[in-house]
Amino acid sequence: MIKIKNLHATIDGKEILKGLNLEVKAGEVHAIMGPNGAGKSTLASVLAGREEYEVTEGTVEFDGKNLLELDTEDRAREGLFLAFQYPIEIPGVSNVNFLRTALNEIREYKGEEQISAKDFMALVREKSALVELDAKLASRAVNEGFSGGEKKRNEIFQMAMLEPKLAILDETDSGLDIDALRIVAKGVNTLKSSENATIVITHYQRLLDYIIPDFVHVLYDGKIVKTGTKDLALELEERGYDWIKAEVEAK
Judged by the rule CB under 8 A, the positions of this chain that interact with other proteins are 48-50, 71-73, 75-77, 81-82, 84, 87-88, 90-93, 97-99, 101-103, 105-106, 109, 141-142, 158, 162
User: Could you tell me the smallest distance in angstroms from the CB atom of residue 116 to other proteins?
Assistant: 18
| Least distance between other proteins and beta carbon 87 (Å) | 7
Of 226, 217, 250, which is closest to residue 43 (Cα–Cα)?
Answer: 217
DSSP 114-155: PPPHHHHHHHHHHHHHHTT--HHHHHSEETTT--HHHHHHHH
Whose Cβ is closer to other proteins: residue 84's or residue 215's?
Answer: 84
Rounded to whole angstroms, the Cα distance separating 174 from 43 reads 17
By beta-carbon proximity to other proteins, the closer residue of 162 and 233 is: 162
Give the nearer residue to other proteins in terms of CB position, either 99 or 244. 99
Q: Which is nearer to other proteins, 90 or 129 (CB)?
A: 90
Residue whose CB is less far from other proteins, 93 or 122: 93
CB of 24 to other proteins, least distance (A): 19
Shortest Cβ distance from residue 80 to other proteins (Å)? 9
Q: What does the alpha-carbon distance between residue 136 and residue 128 come to, in Å, rounded to a whole number?
A: 10
Residue 245 CA: distances (Å) to CA of 7, 15, 205 = 20, 19, 18
User: Cβ-count burial of 5 within 10 angstroms (0-12 exposed, 13-18 middle, 19+ buried)?
Assistant: middle
Minimum CB separation from other proteins for residue 150, in Å?
Answer: 16
Q: In Å, what is the CA distance from 24 to each residue of 29, 30, 127, 195? A: 8, 7, 26, 12
